Amino acid sequence: MENQNTSMKTGIMTFSLIFFIFGFATTFIITLTAPVKAIFGLSEFSAQLLASAFFFAYPIMSIPTGKIIDKIGYKWTVVAGLFLMALGSFIFIPAARIPSFPIFLFGTFVLAVGVVFLQVAANPYVTALGPDSTASSRLNLTQAMNSIATMIAPWLISVAIFKGLNLPEASAVTPEQALQVAERVPMPFIIMGIIIILIAFIIYRAKLPVLEKGSGVKKSVWKYPHVVLGAFAIFAYVGAEVGNAGLLVNYLSTSIEGISAEMASTYAAIYWGGAMIGRFFGSFMFSDMPQSKKMTFLLPVLLLAFVAGSFVTDWNWTIGLTFTVVALVNFLIMQIGRGKAARTLAIFALIAALLGLATTFSTGNIALWTVISIGLFNSIMFPNIFALAVKDLDKAELSGASGLINSLIIGGAIIPPLMGGIADNFGYTWAFIVPAICYFYIFFYAVKGNTIRRA
């Protein structure tokens, strides 16, 4: 039993690192839409094509990746994915030097294929490392590591790319300013590529637990309604999360007085930080530990929220405190879910939908905090949706189900340009109605869709 627990901890620790890596890469690309818009003088719709290039890799590669896992295993799939990510990172060097928007899109796609390899392997692996009853807890814990990365990435863009430039709106950026932005793009990707290669060698050397293959009798996962409906819930979730984040920097810097692109990027970091805090809450709230012990983790996570919110805003303690209070409210609302994955998902999806609508019909600081707070309620959605969607499946079916579910991450390619088009034609605030609709679908899945089983 002790060896089994040690093996499981090794697997979770290793894949927490994997979640960190692909979380950083994903969010870095999403937040990069603002610099790319400035470099090439693009419309909001065109700038969001960068996110589309990333997320179109999911429907193309997710199902084939599930088959690759069956052939070569989880470990080698992860190593291959890391090397593809490194290759994609290095493509951004000529893309920025020329500069060339098509090469930006190509580098994004290559990097994304590597991320698909990691994500299709990581989610079912962590799910299968223990009992179904605590799968949501394990996924929330590893995805909390993902969210640490997603908080760092926007902050890094604000420091490495925007800091000190004082850019006007993208339409007013001069060619000289555009070149200044372009010159700052390669270095973060060079560093990321080198780190990813080092991690690939670490994973190659690591001794990971080998998953049981289950019954070996494979069935088409299309026969399971809760899997298919869960895949569409992932479509809605990723589309909403990425759509909010993709517009956040330009929305805040153009719609709220006194907020620069640099400051807006730090608020984007807080948005992603909300997902990190919420997932840490979920990691112990969905576990099987006693309630009294769960409460001992509350204060450390709130302290993390305070420090993180203050740090990314250049030690603005007021913003850090505000973020901590919002995080505490998020935790209190989570108690209504009573540690049940579906119940908590329903509550969070409904609140996220209402916050999206509030962003549309409000202005100023109210709109600022309603859109940022959505991040906290995004937090447990992906791990809970995934855990509900693969519930009761044989381990032999996990890779196929993960391929299908991850292919619908294409929502991140479709929803952001749709929101960008609405922003171009009707204004940024109206664009936030789209993610609100997405969250209402997730609410349906949590209440009804995940319970539908084939007779």
Percent of the chain with pLDDT over 90: 32
**CA–CA distance, 370 with 178 (Å, rounded to integer):** 31
Positions of E strands within 252-308: none
Write 197-203 long-range contacts (CB < 8 A, 24+). 197/82, 197/83, 197/86, 199/17, 199/21, 199/82, 200/79, 200/82, 200/83, 200/86, 202/17, 203/14, 203/17, 203/18, 203/75, 203/78, 203/79, 203/82
Sign of CA dihedral 102, 105, 407, 274: negative
In tens, the pLDDT along 5-29 reads: 555 667 777 777 888 888 788 877 8
Coil, strand or helix at 197: helix
* Overall average pLDDT of the 341-366 stretch: 93
**CA–CA distance, 23 with 144 (Å, rounded to integer):** 10
Range of weakest confidence among 77-86, 298-307, 385-394, 396-405? 396-405
**CA–CA distance, 36 with 33 (Å, rounded to integer):** 5
Q: Residue written as tokens 């590669």?
A: 61
Q: At 163, which helix (H) or strand (E)?
A: none
Positions of E strands within 324-441: none
Give residue 37's pLDDT.
81
CB 302 within 8 A of CB 324: yes
Count Cα neighbours of 158 within 13 Å in the Cβ-side half-sphere: 24
**CA–CA distance, 364 with 361 (Å, rounded to integer):** 11
- Radius of gyration from C-alpha coordinates of the chain: 21
The encoded tokens of residue 72 equal: 């070569």
Percent of the chain with pLDDT over 70: 89
Give residue 260's pLDDT.
80
In tens, the pLDDT along 73-97 reads: 888 898 999 999 999 999 989 988 8
Coil, strand or helix at 56: coil
CB 268 within 8 A of CB 371: no
CA dihedral 259, 260, 262, 266 (to 10 degrees): 10
The encoded tokens of residue 394 equal: 């044989």
| Residues counted in the chain | 455
In tens, the pLDDT along 171-220 reads: 555 677 677 777 877 888 888 889 889 888 888 887 776 665 555 555 67
**CA–CA distance, 151 with 267 (Å, rounded to integer):** 10
In the predicted model, what is the mean pLDDT of the chain? Answer: 83
* Overall average pLDDT of the 113-140 stretch: 78
Sign of CA dihedral 89, 91, 97, 98: negative
The three-point CA angle 202-109-38 to 5° equals 110
CATH superfamily, with its number, for domain 2-451: MFS general substrate transporter like domains (1.20.1250.20)
DSSP 333-347: HHGGGTT-HHHHHHH
In this prediction the pTM is 0.77
**CA–CA distance, 375 with 437 (Å, rounded to integer):** 16
Q: Residue written as tokens 């809970």?
A: 384
Give residue 433's pLDDT.
96
CB 74 within 8 A of CB 208: yes
Q: In sequence order, what are the residues at sequence separation of 6 or more whose Cβ sits closer than 8 angstroms to the Cβ of residue 258?
A: none
Give residue 5's pLDDT.
57
Q: Is the peptide bond before 99 cis (omega within 30 degrees of 0)?
A: yes
Helix locations, 98-185, DSSP H: 101-128, 135-157, 175-184
